[in-house]
Amino acid sequence: VNETLDLLIKLQKLDSIIIKHSKTIKNIPSKINSMETPFKEAEATLERLNSNFENLDKKKREKENSVNENNDRAEKLKTRTNDIKDNKAYTAHLKEIDGLERSTRKLEDDVLYSMEAIEASAGRVKEAEDALKTEEGRLEGLKKKLDLEVDEAKDGLRNMKEDRSALTKGLDEDTFKLYMDILANKGGSAVVKVEDSVCDGCNENIMPQLVVEIAKNEKIIHCPQCRRILYQEVEETSEVSDGTQD
Ligand SMILES: [Zn+2]
C-alpha cells in the first residue's frame, strides 16, 4: 500500500473516532437539559400544590378569625341581655344573638371541611416532595454518569490528538490540506472504501477501470462524483501495517 494512502486511511479512522467523541461531548449539555424535564415538572407540581395548600390554610384561618369575632360579639351582646327592659328590643336582641350563633356554627363547619381539605392537600404535597426527591436523585446520578463519560471522552481525545499529530507528520503539506479540505466539506469523511464497485462516501458506482486502479492502493485516487479519496480494504492492512511497506 502506498505510504501516503496508508497514512490517510489511518488518519481518517482516527478522525472518525475523534469526531464521534467530540460530538458526544458537545451534545452533553442538551442531553442534560432534556433529562432535567421530569425534575422541572416535579418542581412545578410541588410549587402548585404548595400554593394550593397555603390558599386553603389561609381561608381556614380567615374562617377561624370570623368564628372568634362572632363569639366576641355574641359574648358582648349576652352581657347586655339583662339590661334590656323593652320587649321588642329584647326579642330583636335575642334574634341577633341567635343569628350570630347560627353563622358561627356554619363557619365552624366550614373550618372542619377546610381542615379535611388541608389534610388531603398536605398528603399531596408530601407525595410531590417525595417525587421531587426521587427525580433529584435520578438526575444527580445521570449527571454524574455523563460527567464521567465526558471526562473519559476528553482523556481519549487528548490521546488521539497526540496520535494524530504523529500521523500528520508523515504527510506533506499539500496532501494534508487536501485531506482537511475534503474532510471539512464532506461531513467528516475524506477517505472511504470502495465496496462492490461503489464509493462508500456517496454510494455512486465507480467505473471498472478505476476500480482496478483503486484496488492496487498505489496512489491517491478521488471519487469522480464526490472527490473523496478512495481505497480498497486489504484484510491485514490497517491494524498491523506500520506504514512503511508498499
Ligand atoms: Zn464518492
Q: Are 227 and 191 in contact (CB under 8 A)?
A: no
**Closest residue by Cα to residue 194 from 212, 175, 176:** 212
Q: Work out the mean pLDDT of the chain and round it to a whole number.
A: 93
Find the 79 Cα to ligand 1 centroid distance in Å: 105
CA-CA distance, 142 to 109, in Å (whole number)? 50
Which triple of cell numbers denotes residue 113?
371541611
Distance 197 CA to ligand 1 centre (A): 11
pLDDT digits (tens, 9 = 90+) for 66-91: 999 999 999 999 999 989 999 999 99
Q: How far is the CA of 193 from the centre of ligand 1 (A)?
A: 9
Does position 227 have pLDDT exceeding 70, yes or no? yes
- The dihedrals phi and psi of 198, each to the nearest 5 degrees, come to -120, 135
For ligand 1, the distance from its centroid to the CA atom of residue 242, given in whole angstroms, is 27
The residue whose grid cell reads 490497517 is: 238
- What is the secondary structure of 60-113 as a DSSP string? HHHHHHHHHHHHHHHHHHHHHGGG---HHHHHHHHHHHHHHHHHHHHHHHHHHH
Ligand 1: distance of its center to the CA of 220 in Å?
A: 14
Residue 166 in this model has a pLDDT that exceeds 90: yes
Task: Name the band, by pLDDT with cuts 50, 70 and 90, for residue 209.
Answer: very high
> What is d(CA 116, CA 123) in angstroms, rounded to the nearest whole number?
11
Please tell me the predicted confidence (pLDDT) of residue 24. Answer: 87
SS3 category, 200: coil
**What distance in Å separates the CA atoms of residue 132 and residue 201, rounded to the nearest whole number?**
48
pLDDT digits (tens, 9 = 90+) for 33-44: 888 999 999 999
Q: How far is CA 192 from the centre of its chain?
A: 35
Q: So what's the pLDDT on residue 237?
A: 47
pLDDT band at 246 (very low <50, low <70, confident <90, very high): very low
- pLDDT above 80: residue 122: yes
Predicted local distance difference test score (pLDDT) of residue 245 = 44
pTM over 0.85: no
Q: Using the predicted structure, report yes or no on whether residue 119 has a pLDDT greater than 60.
A: yes
- Asked if pLDDT for residue 216 goes beyond 50, the answer is yes
236 pLDDT above the threshold of 60: no
What spacing in Å lies between the alpha carbon of 121 and ligand 1's midpoint?
A: 66
Q: Ligand 1 centre and the CA of 50: distance in Å?
A: 62
C-alpha separations of 192 from 59, 154, 188, 233 in Å: 73, 26, 11, 9
Which has the closest alpha carbon to 220: 182, 164, 185? Answer: 182
Interval between CA 225 and ligand 1 midpoint (Å) = 5
Instruction: Cell numbers for 121, please give them.
Output: 392537600
- The one-character DSSP state at 205 is B
- pLDDT value at residue 1: 81
pLDDT the model gives residue 161: 92
